[in-house]
Amino acid sequence: MAVDYVARQMAMNALENGGGGGGGDSGTTNYNELENKPKINGFALVGNKSSADLGIIIPDSTSDLTNDSGFITGTAVNALLADYVTETIFDSTIAGFYTKSEVDTKLSGVRSEIALNRRTLGVICKNLMEVTANSQTIKGVTFTVNDNGSITVNGTATERADFNICQSVEYHSGQILTGCPKNGSAETYCLAIYTAGRDTGEGLVLSSDGAHECYIRIEKGYTANNLVFFPMLRDGNIADDTFEPYHPSLQTQVGRLVDSGAKNILNLGDTYFVSTDVTYTFDGDSGAITASKTTGTYKRIVWQLPTETGKKYKVSFDVTAIARSAMIFPTNVSSAGSAPWGQIDVTENGHYSMYFTPAADDVWFVLYLSTSEGTDEIGIENLMVCTAEDYEASPEFAPYVPTNQELYKMILALQNGG
């Protein structure tokens, strides 16, 4: 039989305090004959009473306790993880914790688009492909670029219609291309990266590295009726193929900050070479040059441009005065007269411009005065060389300013005594 030590002790205390007193009363040794017996919760301590009989409740579950210390329960942990975990990791009771292997199994339910690796951790977003194209109609098919980077396609293709959504996207083996509507095919429509393969609605796991254009193809005779493409290139560790608009990665944003201020990459005052017998003046704020030669068949002024191989640029300027003729062009050899990427022949006043895509870094930029004997003069304003992207965003002249990266190099040179 269980002994209720609380009741027993209280009864002994009552005997010690209630018997053998004065007043001529002989007292009693029989507890049951006592008056004013001690009570707990209104229950007299008589007989063999349990804690429950005396109204004493001893909690046997954490849910019966008041959490006045603010301990985090399993339920609270699950609530905190609700945005990232699809399964319950912790039970709400104190005995509901799992073993390591059980937790590992449950963690397989973590939302699969959270991929922690060298490419994704703090560096890039889910969708690696930026749509840079503008809406246009090609061979009977209208491609409308939406604000979120999706493309709506309508119309019947009179010939095969290819719509380049970006000129060059960098891709790697194991990445996944998605975004083509279901039921595409080589005979109807698809989303493709040149040389890397096409997605016809089921997704494409890339098997090579490269950088090429990505395009939507509508085959001849196919009629698209509000066909919506959601182009996305994502890391192979991200299983979820739900479309997410492109956002520039941290790395891209840092690169843009480093190169900011570099719209006009031609620093007129920093010449690489000037022929003898050439008189010239530069005004960098207005992009103005005046130059003349008095002898010889031709004379030149040469600058070096901080260009990148394969990147598209544009040169533009206004001619305000010219005696005979001149040529302006980029070239890969500082002393040569060849113009491998095109040239501008100047014969009269007016506005001139030209796109070029150099096949080398840091190319030379040459102003040739006429090959004719005698005095040749030219006056130029608003001379600017910039990327095609910057020019198309804002064709107005901007004076040269050094990039943040160039400023940093200048500071380092000064610090090192250069």
| Residue-wise pLDDT tens digits, 70-99 | 666 666 666 655 555 444 444 444 444 555
Burial category of 309 from C-beta neighbours within 10 Å (exposed 0-12, middle 13-18, buried 19 and up): exposed
Q: Is residue 418 part of a domain?
A: no
Q: Do 249 and 298 reside in the same domain of the chain?
A: no
Write the pLDDT tens digit of every residue in 170-221: 899 999 999 999 999 999 999 999 989 999 999 999 999 988 899 999 999 9
Q: Do 321 and 204 reside in the same domain of the chain?
A: no
Write the pLDDT tens digit of every residue in 234-267: 999 888 899 999 887 665 665 555 555 458 989 9
Q: How many CB atoms lie within 10 A of CB 233?
A: 24
Strand-pairing partners, residue 282, are 289
Name the residue range of residue 39's domain: 5-44
Strand-pairing partners, residue 380, are 289, 319
pLDDT given at position 98? 55
Q: Do 36 and 96 reside in the same domain of the chain?
A: no
Q: Is residue 371 part of a domain?
A: yes
Q: Is residue 323 part of a domain?
A: yes
Residue given tokens 């595409």 in the structure block: 184
* pLDDT value at 123 more than 50: no
For the chain, the domain total comes to: 4
Q: Do 146 and 187 reside in the same domain of the chain?
A: yes
> Of 227, 256, 285, which one is at a domain's C-terminal end?
256
What's the pTM value of the predicted model, to 2 decimals?
0.41
Q: Do 84 and 156 reside in the same domain of the chain?
A: no
Q: Do 250 and 358 reside in the same domain of the chain?
A: no
Mean pLDDT computed over 139-150: 95
Q: Do 249 and 325 reside in the same domain of the chain?
A: no
Q: Do 199 and 277 reside in the same domain of the chain?
A: no
Q: Do 141 and 179 reside in the same domain of the chain?
A: yes
CATH number at residue 316: 2.60.120.260
Torsion of CA 360, 365, 370, 376, to 10 degrees: -170
> Of 256, 290, 311, which one is at a domain's C-terminal end?
256
Q: Is residue 264 part of a domain?
A: no
Q: How many CA atoms lie within 13 A of 59 on its CB side?
A: 6
Q: Is residue 11 part of a domain?
A: yes
Mean pLDDT computed over 144-153: 95
Cα–chain-centroid distance for residue 35?
84
**CA-based diameter of the chain, in Å?**
152
What is the C-alpha separation between 14 and 34, in angstroms, rounded?
9
How is residue 348 annotated by DSSP?
Answer: S
Mean pLDDT computed over 340-367: 88
Q: Do 103 and 150 reside in the same domain of the chain?
A: no
pLDDT given at position 252? 63
Write the pLDDT tens digit of every residue in 261-286: 458 989 998 888 888 888 889 998 89
* pLDDT value at 351 more than 90: yes
Residues in the chain: 418
Q: Do 371 and 292 reside in the same domain of the chain?
A: yes
Select, from the ranges 89-98, 101-110, 250-259, 373-382, the one with the highest average predicted confidence (pLDDT): 373-382
Q: Do 148 and 246 reside in the same domain of the chain?
A: yes
